[in-house]
Structure 1
Amino acid sequence: MMLYVSWDPILIGISFVVAFIASFVALDSASKIFSSSVRGALFWRFCGGATLGMGIWSMHFVGMLAMRMPIVMHYDLVLTIASFVVALIAATLAINVVVSAEMPPFRRLMLATCLLSLGIVGMHALGMAALTDYVTLYWNTPRLVLSVTIAFFASGFSLWLAFVRQFNQHRAFIYRVFAGLVLGITICAMHYVAMSAVEFSNGKDSSGIIVRSTAYYSTHTSVSEAGLSIWVSTSTLIVLGIMLFISLIDSQIRTSRLTESLRQLNHQLEMQAHFDPLTNLANRIQFDVLLDACLASAAAQRQRFALLFMDLDRFKQVNDAYGHHVGDLLLKSVSVRLSTCVNAKMTLARLGGDEFILLVPDCIDEEITTLAKRLVDTIHFPFYEQGHVINVSLSVGISFYPQHGDTVQDLKFKADAAMYRVKKNGRNGWEVWHPAITHNAANTPFFLSDISINQK
């Protein structure tokens, strides 16, 4: 006698929701493999497979519970556990294969598709076998083949969409949701098409089956329909809840790390934009900003400030004799010595090459002349770089605001001109700009004379 089968639409809907959520969580977990450490990747490989296996198995048994027959249904506990193990192993292997970088994309996609579809079919077969102790199953072969075909092609499409197809980061989440939706539909479609391909027969009246099944399961290990319903639902919700929580925490940690990396990168870019990478002193851009601010403040408060242009003497010869590597080490050492002569209110910067500049706000003449002498004297001592004893000296030119100009350009030019006057007069010294250092062609500063000669 064939048994009449009806379906609970609410449980069918729940089975799809379970399949979709489990599929999405599994694919989301597996997507973290690519950006994790070796240990983290192993964790996400297992979690992705375990979640997907649980989802496949849970959907199957929620779907079985949606099936109503005029008998009391029981499920063999051993076969029930076996069906779960098959789903777990197949899903874990499929996830590990599809994310592997050791095989070409098409080959790993085909192998993963075969593993996952076989796992879905095998789990379903074992789940159905748990009922065959007291019912006879009659299969519709074309529909059965259709269900297997759906499992294979839809599984392959969802895996391709989630792992093989390349999308930008912004769209990856959307396509992962879509892949989870496809995989969830795949699991449900395979199950319900396969269920439509089977008819159940007891060969006797329904009451006989009820008596036989009750007697049979009183002496055998089995799980009741109500017990299985509670166990499956609770287990699935716990696993999915834990995985969603872990995934959320991991995403927050990754976001925090990304934010910190961006902050460090912005800091590095800011340092590169405003500070000299070799000496860590302020660069020309940063110095000009501070100089403009100092000029505005001094004009408003009627204060003085000084600019000191500094240039290493014979630095080119050091580069030619010992190489640029030694020259860079020398510049670092020079910046350290110069820094020991300045205080917190002063700004020392490297303009480029062997040129340095110092801004001294709110100062008096005696303070600056003493500072200039200290700067020259500290560089006069020998440097020891890479086994070489290097002797260089320092030429310093000084201009004051407002005596020597009321614009940044005037103050820079006059300090620069005074510095080159020092070079012209023998180097290793300092000089304050004065009107005798004229700007006409007959008495052009030394550095401009060099340019004129070179051009000729």
Structure 2
Amino acid sequence: MIEHFAYGWTTPVIACAVSFLGSLIGLQAAGRARYSQGRVRTGWLVLAAFTLGTAAIWAMHFIAMLGFSVESATLRYDVPLTVLSGLLAVAVVGVGLFWSMMWRPGWTAVLGGGIIMGLGVVTMHYMGMASIRMQGEMHHDPRYTATAAAVALVASTLALLFALRLRGLLAIVLASLVMAAAVATMHYTAMFGMSVTAAPESPLDTPVTGATMMDFFMPMFVGLGLLLMIISLILLLSPAENRTDPATDRAPAHTADPSVFTRRP
């Protein structure tokens, strides 16, 4: 029997809270990038990608996995593959952000960036699942996989749409809520479509190699806390940026920005 909530609602709530906080800080950094140019803009985008990839996506997955267990099976994690899944999330989210913010705003930028970010969320999840070692074989229902992918793609695009279309703190909060909901919904949709069957060549008493969840959970938790604190301090202490959007060459209002969807020559 598969258990997704071994600690009740504790792990889902903490996982969603961390994802929201990571999205909030990451999208704030992305907002700074929007009103910067050159190396400064690139630096903000790198910070945004790293925060979104690690805190909003990767950490959410593994905090939620604290509540995952399989009856009579020992779970271990392949550390290199686990770390690689986090790096992949950062890289793909970075590509999505660069795509959406390094060009003039429009449907191509929003859709392209949202699709790329959504694919990063899905790919990170299944790579993280592939890092699990147990006395059994995992199987994923294609219907749940397709649904999870659709949720990630649509919600990631909506989050990016809010971030580009609206201005102010409310827009960032809304985008962060959508992003956190996307990651969590995609995660549990995919997990509910997973099944485990006993492997004939791996009886239950066969030792399983790899790290336990707690072996890298505490270092991850401490490192993530330091990361979010440092990036928050950078956001607070950095000089106020010029509030003119280089893509539109005008100062933004605090309402919807129709230029996001206006074709430009």
- Counterpart of 1:89? 91
TM-score, normalization by structure 1: 0.50
Q: Deviations over 1:206-239 (max 9, x none)?
A: 9x43x32xx341xxxx321211221221222121
Contact 1:50 1:88 in 2 (8 A): yes
Q: How does 1:254-273 map to 2 (within 5 A)?
A: 254=240
- The answer to which structure, 1 or 2, has the higher relative contact order (CA under 8 A, 6+ apart) is 2
Which aligned pairs between 1:253-402 and structure 2 lie closer than 5 A? 253-254=239-240
Q: Secondary structure at the match of 1:234?
A: helix
Aligned equivalents of 1:4 and 1:38: distance in 2?
Answer: 50
Give the alignment partner of residue 175 of structure 1, picking from 154, 171, 174.
171
Is the CA contact (8 Å cut-off) linking 1:90 and 1:116 kept in structure 2? yes
Pick from 203, 207, 229: which aligns with 1:241? Answer: 229
Question: 1:31 and 2:17 equivalent?
Answer: no
Name the residue aligned to 1:227. Answer: 215
SS in structure 1 at match of 2:103: coil
State whether structure 2 residue 8 is matched by structure 1 residue 20: no
Q: CA RMSD in A?
A: 2.1
The answer to whether the 8 A contact 2:114-2:153 is kept is yes
Are residue 190 (structure 1) and residue 190 (structure 2) matched?
no
Residue 78 of structure 2 is matched in structure 1 by 76
Look up the equivalent residue of 1:5 and give its one-letter code: E
The aligned residue for residue 140 of structure 2 is 139
**CA–CA distance in 1 between the matches of 2:228 and 2:155?**
23
CA contact (8 A) 1:62 1:232 kept: no
Distance in 2 between the 1:109 and 1:90 partners? 15
Q: Conserved in 2, the CA contact under 8 Å of 1:161 and 1:179?
A: yes
SS of 1:200's partner is: strand
Deviation at 1:112, TM superposition (A): 0.8
Query: SS of 1:87's equivalent?
Result: helix
Q: Percent identity?
A: 23
Q: 1:139: how far off?
A: 2.1
Q: Residue 3 of structure 2 corresponds to which residue in structure 1?
A: 5
* Structure 2: runs of 5+ lacking an equivalent: 244-265
In the TM superposition, residue 39 of structure 1 has moved relative to its aligned partner by 2.3
Q: How far apart, CA to CA, are the structure 1 residues paired with 2:140 and 2:175?
A: 31
- Asked if structure 1 preserves the Cα contact closer than 8 Å seen for 2:118 and 2:153, the reply is yes
Report the TM-score when normalising by structure 2. Answer: 0.83
Contact 1:61 1:232 in 2 (8 A): no
- Report if the CA contact (8 A) 2:74-2:134 is conserved: no
Per the alignment, residue 160 of structure 2 pairs with 159
Deviation string for 1:287-320 (max 9, x for gaps)? xxxxxxxxxxxxxxxxxxxxxxxxxxxxxxxxxx
Q: Please give the alpha-carbon distance, in whole angstroms, between the structure 2 residues aligned to 1:4 and 1:86.
A: 27
Contact 1:75 1:223 (C-alpha < 8 Å) held by counterparts: yes
Distance in 2 between residues matched to 1:196 and 1:216, nearest whole Å: 24
Q: CA deviation at 1:138?
A: 2.4
- 2:43 is matched with 43
Are 1:125 and 2:98 matched, yes or no?
Answer: no
2: distance between equivalents of 1:216 and 1:134?
Answer: 7
Structure 1 residue 6: Cα displacement? 4.0
- Name whichever of 137-146 and 119-128 sits farther off: 137-146
**Which one-letter code corresponds to 1:38 in the other structure?**
G
> Is the alpha carbon distance of 1:203 and 1:118 closer, same or farther for their aligned partners in structure 2, counting shifts above 3 Å?
same
Whole-Å Cα distance in 1 between the matches of residues 99 and 115 of structure 2? 11
* Per-residue deviation, 1:149: 0.6
Match of 1:101 among 100, 103, 112: 103
Residue 3 of structure 2 aligns to which amino acid in structure 1? V
Structure 1 runs not aligned, ≥5 long: 259-456
The aligned amino acid for 2:95 is L
Query: 1:76, 1:173 → 2: CA distance?
Result: 39
Cα distance, 1:203 vs. partner?
4.3
Bigger radius of gyration among the two: 1
Instruction: Report the residue type matching 1:254 in the other structure.
Output: A
Q: How many residues are paired up?
A: 238
Instruction: Measure how far apart 1:72 and its partner are.
Output: 2.6
- The 8 Å contact of residues 96 and 116 in structure 2, kept in 1 or not, is answered as yes
1:100 Cα deviation after fit:
1.7
SS, match of residue 211 in structure 2: strand
Q: 2:58 corresponds to which residue?
A: 57
